[in-house]
């Protein structure tokens, strides 16, 4: 099925560093969701975005809905070991309830 | 409460077995989803129910049979599965008809087919 391009695919960072990842699509979306998934668990919602240009924070996490409505960005500030996991974006187009998922960004934090 | 509950947590079955996965939510959501997820891959949509009716079937083999007995429950009946069907099966739910449409996931059922 259709997937969104998410980058980077994986990243190793030092504890305390900031992290940036993004998701791009060839289609326009009305909603962007960002999830974190730990091994063997279901995705947990981090941030939801509903309007182009919207910037939303959740603790150390900040996400933005791109102006073109075809991309979204997630930043994590001052990373800690529990930030380890896979981060997925998901987009939802108008008139549908079929979410399209990004390919995922695997984050590893070195203490 | 944003909880979606899936049982069992783990399931091992032979290729001739019949088993069922269960999912429950009490958020009043009228859309419920089944996803299949392989290791290191994003969730792959299988089925969507809206208002207890099957609205999307992503060409899933008939050995997977979904059922939505009521607005809070979703089942996935399994029969004659293949080893390649081993995966994490995720249930999710969301509101319908609202602009702010958030999808919440359960913890998943880890299925192994021997």
Rg of the Cα trace of chain B?
A: 13
- Judged against a pLDDT cut of 80, whether residue A105 lies above it is answered with yes
How many residue contacts between A and B have a Cβ separation below 8 Å?
Answer: 60
For A45-100, what is each residue's pLDDT tens digit? 999 999 999 999 999 999 999 999 999 999 999 999 999 999 999 999 888 888 99
Kindly state the helix (H) or strand (E) to which residue A61 belongs, with its residue range.
Answer: strand A61-65
Please report which confidence band the pLDDT of residue B1 belongs to, taking 50, 70 and 90 as the band edges.
Answer: low
Look at residue A97 in the predicted model and tell me its pLDDT: 81
A98 with B40: Cβ contact below 8 A? no
Binning pLDDT at 50, 70 and 90, where does residue A24 land?
Answer: very high
Across the interface, of A33, A42, A103, the residue whose CB is closest to B90 is: A42
The pLDDT of residue A2: 72
Mean pLDDT of B31-44: 95
Q: Tell me the two tokens of residue A48.
A: 């939801």
pLDDT at A1 over 80: no
pLDDT at residue number A43: 97
pLDDT for B92 equals 97
Contact status of B75 with chain A (Cβ, < 8 Å)? no
C-alpha B16/C-alpha B28 separation (Å) is 36
DSSP letters spanning B77-105: EEES--GGG-EEEEEEEE-SS-SS--EEE
Asked if B97 is an interface residue toward chain A (Cβ–Cβ < 8 A), one would say no
Choose among B96, B102, B108: nearest Cβ to A33.
B102
Interface check for A29 against chain B (CB to CB < 8 A): the answer is no
C-alpha to C-alpha distances, A47 to A12, A42, A50, A57, A62, nearest whole angstrom:
22, 16, 10, 7, 8
- Mean pLDDT along residues B77-105: 90
Q: Return the residue in A3, A89, A99 with the most chain B beta carbons within 10 A, the one to mutate for interface testing.
A: A99
Q: Which of A46, A29, A48 is nearest to A91 (CA)?
A: A29
Chain A nearest C-alpha distance from B64 (Å) = 18
By the CB < 8 Å criterion, does A109 face chain B?
Answer: no
Decide if B21 contacts B75 (C-beta within 8 A).
yes
pLDDT band, very low/low/confident/very high, at B95 (cuts 50, 70, 90): confident
- What is the reported pLDDT for B96? 80
> CA of B10: which chain A residue's CA is closest?
A40
Asked if the Cβ–Cβ distance from A43 to B106 is below 8 Å, we say: no
User: Between these two residues, B2 and B11, which has the higher pLDDT value?
Assistant: B11
Whole-number pLDDT of residue B84: 96
Q: Note the pLDDT of residue B99.
A: 63
Test B104 with A45 for CB contact under 8 angstroms: yes
* Spatial separation of the C-alpha atoms in residues A46 and B59, rounded to whole Å: 30
pLDDT at B46: 97
Q: Least CB-CB distance to B107: which of A42, A92, A104?
A: A42
Say if B44 is an interface residue toward chain A (CB within 8 Å): yes
Q: What is the DSSP string of A27-48?
A: S--SEEEEEEE-TTS--EEEEE
pLDDT exceeds 90 at position B106: yes
């Amino acid at each position: 099925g259709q997937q969104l391009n998410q980058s980077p695919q994986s990243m190793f960072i030092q504890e305390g560093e900031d992290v940036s990842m993004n998701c791009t699509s060839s289609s326009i979306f009305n909603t962007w969701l960002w999830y974190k998934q730990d091994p063997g668990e279901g995705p947990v919602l981090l941030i939801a975005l509903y309007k182009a240009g919207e910037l939303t924070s959740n603790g150390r996490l900040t996400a933005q809905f791109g102006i073109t409505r075809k991309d979204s960005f997630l930043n994590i500030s001052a990373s800690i070991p529990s930030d380890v996991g896979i981060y997925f974006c998901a987009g939802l187009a108008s008139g549908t309830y079929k979410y399209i998922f990004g390919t995922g960004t695997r984050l590893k934090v070195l203490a | 409460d944003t909880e979606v509950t899936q049982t069992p947590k783990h399931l091992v079955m032979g290729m001739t077995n019949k088993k069922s996965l269960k999912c429950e939510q009490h958020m009043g959501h009228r859309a419920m989803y089944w996803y299949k997820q392989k290791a290191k891959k994003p969730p792959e949509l299988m089925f969507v129910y809206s208002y207890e009716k099957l609205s999307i079937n992503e060409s899933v083999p008939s050995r997977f049979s979904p059922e939505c007995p009521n607005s809070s429950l979703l089942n996935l009946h399994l029969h004659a599965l293949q080893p390649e069907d081993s995966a994490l099966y995720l249930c999710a739910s969301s509101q319908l008809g609202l602009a702010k449409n958030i999808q919440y996931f359960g913890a998943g059922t880890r299925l192994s087919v021997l």
